[in-house]
Amino acid sequence: MSIKFKSKWLRITAGAKRTKDEIGGFSEVISKKDLVIFTMIALAGSSVYGQDEKKQVDGWKNSVVGNLNLSQSSFSNWSKGGQSAVTWQVLLAGKLINEHKKYNWTTDGNFTYGETKLGEAQSRKSLDEIKIASVFTYKLGVYINPYIAATAQTQSTDGFTYASAEDQGTRVSGLLDPAYFTQSIGFGYAPTKSTKTRLGASLKESIANKFSARYTDDPSTPKLEKQRIEIGFESVTTSEIQINKTAKVASSLQLFSNLESIKTVDVDWVLTLQSNISKYVNMNFNVQLLYDQDISKKRQIKQALAIGFTYNFL
């Protein structure tokens, strides 16, 4: 094999023994400049190879996960007393991610619905939510990147309040009654892969029809408003911590303020603990805290614990 440095040639014969004169000649042929050039070429080659290995894979990544949770108890001639009960819940969570070196477009969709039947009473709704959030982020190559986002939230069926166990219920909500929509633009910050936060100017619309007096009406005016539009600022922070191979904790904190006062800050905080007991069985613990002065002067809390079946459709 021959190695050429400038106009000089060095012939290396495999297996041949070299004298001290030959070794000295070798060092004379290869100058310091040649060694520097050879080293730079080698480093450049290894750098390119490393970049190929870490090259980002662009394109769509989709996932849909479904959960079915069941709970049942029955009593017959039970002297200690008790009431038969059946509870079921369906949860669907989908995610679409379009990853590109210049941008990221992520859309999340969640659907939850559940009912509970106690004794001879009719089934009553226990969970009902439809929520979609889409965020488009343009990558500047730093931790802070501009974004635009839109969200929509409502429910699928009528909701009721009950004064007693025998009460037939009073209808207080329905599909798109109310419904909440937000659009925002601003900057996002991702200090780690598991934690993201964004802050921007936001437009929030609340709409209602039959129950507008409960959700959208302004009591200071004589007219019954069926929609309410607010301009302000929105902050959304999400975090996901993997406890171990089978359990993780996810948190989502959404704040909105129309800048009128500190009391007008709307809070929507969801904390979820998920643990996979086996491939098709999991446990979900969910707590949601809501505060919206336009709906209730007090904070609202919803908590659910369920164990059931899970399946990855995509």
Task: Name residues whose C-beta falls within 8 Å of residue 294's C-beta, 6 or more positions apart in sequence.
Answer: 206, 215, 216, 228
**Which whole number is the average pLDDT over 62-83?**
90
Task: Please report the pLDDT score of residue 57 as a whole number.
Answer: 64
Q: Out of 51-65, 138-152, 290-304, which region has the weakest mean confidence (pLDDT)?
A: 51-65
User: In percent, how much of the chain has pLDDT > 90?
Assistant: 64
pLDDT average, residue stretch 222-241: 95
Residue 186 has pLDDT above 90, yes or no: yes
Summarize pLDDT for 116-152 with one digit per residue, the tens.
998 888 899 999 999 999 999 999 977 899 999 999 9
Task: Give the single-character DSSP code of 177.
Answer: B
- In this prediction, residue 295 carries a pLDDT of 86
Q: What is the token pair recorded at 90?
A: 């369906």
Specify the DSSP element, H or E, that contains 137.
Answer: strand 124-138
- Confidence label for 259 from pLDDT (cuts 50, 70 and 90): confident
Question: Which residues 6+ apart lie within 8 Å of 90 measured at CB?
Answer: 66, 67, 68, 69, 111, 112, 113, 114
Region of residue 49 (left: phi > 0; alpha: psi -120 to 50; beta: else): alpha
CATH code of the domain made up of 61-312: 2.40.230
Nearest to 310 by CA among 251, 246, 249: 246
- Greater confidence (136 vs 294) lies with 136
**Are the C-beta atoms of residues 267 and 249 closer than 8 Å to each other?**
no
What's the pTM value of the predicted model, to 2 decimals? Answer: 0.77
All CATH 2.40.230 domain ranges in the chain, comma separated = 61-312
DSSP per position, 227-257? EEEEEEEEEEEEEEEE-SSSEEEEEEEEEEE
Residue 183 bridge partners (DSSP): 150, 203
Pairwise pLDDT comparison (192 vs 37), residue with the higher score: 192
Chain centroid to CA 115: how far? 26
At 82, the pLDDT band (50, 70, 90 cuts) reads confident
Question: In whole numbers, what is the pLDDT of the chain averaged over residues?
Answer: 84
Residue 249's nearest CA partner among 274, 269, 270, 268 is: 274
